[in-house]
Homo-oligomer: A and B are copies of this chain.
Amino acid sequence: MSTTSRRPIYLDCDTGIDDSLALAYLLASPEIELVGVGTVCGNTSATQAARNTLDLLALAGRHDIPVAVGATDWLTRPFDGGVPQIHGPNGIGGIQLHPSGAAPADEAAAELLIRLSHEYAGRLQVVTVGPLTNIALALTTDPTLVDRVASVTTMGGAALVPGNVTAVAEANVWNDPEAAQHVIAAHWDVTLVPLDVTLENTLAEKDRRQLLQSADPLARSLGEMLDFYFDFYLSFYGRRGCALHDPLAAAIAVGGIRAATAPAVPAQIDTTHGPGRGQTVLDLREQRHGPVDHPGCRTRVVLATDRPLGPHLVQRLTSPIATLA
């Protein structure tokens, strides 16, 4: 049993440029301790995501954090090659990181999660920023997982804004709707961080310059890989910059950013093969006059945050953790 006083977090990711931001944010957050990382196919392959994660951890001098490769395919669909047009050919914008030399853990991501849930029973927070395949596999392997996990914070879904893969589906949910449905139907507290808020939190070129000028090598690498990501978002925002999907979920899990509006509502993933496949169907009919929790619902959806993530994120990424702790 670990005795860390920091809140333990397991991160599940498909690293990914904004996943890299989320990872670095967690490493820079004194409130929590990152105790393990699992990777899943999504932005890139699960294997490449693990490679990227290990290299980023090495840049931060954190060889101690286990990284486990997870699902190399989704529950009902083989991995499709990811989105190199968004995250670059290697998931991190094509930049070359110094190879860490460390190997992935000798267990699958779902096994790592279950193991950590015992080690930090009742305290472990799960943060997911990729498809929910590993979490669904862990729940299938050990349904008692829900009793040992304190909370799940998930970047996923689109509540009252269009999707980013189909008209109504957000990428993480779209890639594995059956897994997402398994996770939100389980008896634990899930906080969804959907496109509604992640698209409204951005970095701009000035932020990227700050990262590039940092004394911290991890921050500088993030600044470099954002170059590619900013190109992709040019047509979306009409200027160079990017959405902060994954780091917003991380920041909300940490508490660095608070959800100003996050009602607990009926939630269901569309797992049909109709035009709504992959949609996160949230019943927001009662929310017209302000947030109203539905009794018995354990899925919260973040619809507003207390402040913009951008400045807070850059501040954390460019400040050594020693000065914050």
Contacts and interface: CB of A to CB of B under 8 A. Distances in A.
A285 interface: yes
A275 B173 CA distance: 15
Interface residues of A, number: 29
Contacts of A289: 238
Contacts of A257: none
Contacts of A288: 236
A276 B272 contact: yes
A110 B270 CA distance: 34
Interface in A152-181: 160-164, 166-168
A283 interface: yes
Interface string A276-299: 100101111101110000000000
| Stoichiometry (number of copies) | 2
A275 B283 CA distance: 10
A281 B168 contact: yes
B160 A283 contact: no
B268 A271 contact: no
A270 to B, nearest CB: 5
A285 B238 contact: no
A284 B288 CA distance: 22
Interface string A33-76: 00000000000000000000000000000000000000000000
A280 to B, nearest CB: 10
Contact of A270 (B163, B274, B283, B285): B274
Contact of A163 (B168, B275, B285): B285
8 contacts: A162-B284, A167-B266, A167-B284, A168-B279, A270-B274, A271-B274, A275-B281, A276-B281
